[in-house]
Amino acid sequence: MRLALVVQRYGAEIRGGAELHCRLIAEHLGEKHQVTVVTTCAQDYLTWANAYPPGIHDVNGIPVWRFPVRKARDTDRFGRLQERVFHRKHSEAEATAWLQEQGPYSPRLRDWVATYRDHFDYWISFSYRYWTTFYTMQAAAGKAILVPTAEPDPAVDLPMFEHLFRSARGIVFNSHEERSMILARSAAEDVPADVVGVGIEEPEEADAERFRARTGIREPFIFYIGRIDANKGCRQLFDFFQRACARLENEGVAPPLLVLAGHSVLPIPEHPRIRYLGKVDEQEKYDALAACTLLIMPSFYESLSMVLLEAWALNKPVLVNGHCDVLQGQAVRSGGGLYYKDGDEFREALRLLMSDERLRESCGRRGRTYYRDHYTWPVIEDRYDRLLQRLAADDGILEAVPE
DSSP state letter for 200 = -
pLDDT number for residue 15: 77
Map out the domains of the chain as residue ranges.
2-199+376-395, 208-374
**Is residue 200 within 8 Å of residue 311, measured between CB atoms?**
no
d(CA 126, CA 8): 8
- In the sheet that holds 193-195, the strands lie side by side as 55-59, 62-67, 34-40, 2-6, 122-126, 144-147, 170-173, 193-195
* C-alpha Rg value of the chain to the nearest Å: 22
Rounded to two decimals, the pTM is 0.86
Q: Are 35 and 52 in contact (CB under 8 A)?
A: no
Would you tell me which CATH number, out of the four given (3.30.360.10, 3.30.420.40, 3.40.50.2000, 3.30.200.20), belongs to the domain 2-199+376-395? 3.40.50.2000
**CATH topology of 2-199+376-395 equal to that of 208-374?**
yes
Do β-strands 122-126 and 144-147 pair in parallel, antiparallel, or remain unpaired? parallel
Written out in words, the top-level CATH class of the domain with range 208-374 is alpha beta
**Quick check: 101 and 73 in contact, CB under 8 A?**
yes
In tens digits, the chain (403 residues) has pLDDT values of 999 999 999 998 887 788 999 999 999 999 999 999 999 999 998 899 999 999 999 999 999 999 999 998 988 999 999 999 999 888 889 999 999 999 999 999 999 999 999 999 999 999 999 999 999 999 999 999 999 999 888 999 999 999 999 999 999 999 999 999 999 989 899 999 999 999 988 888 999 999 999 999 999 999 999 999 998 999 999 999 999 999 999 998 889 999 999 989 899 999 999 999 999 998 999 999 999 999 999 999 888 888 999 999 999 999 999 999 999 999 999 999 999 999 999 999 999 999 999 999 999 999 999 999 999 999 999 999 999 999 999 999 855 444 4
- Per-residue model confidence (pLDDT) at position 398: 57
Distances (CA, A) of 129 to 3, 116, 162, 291: 21, 23, 11, 37
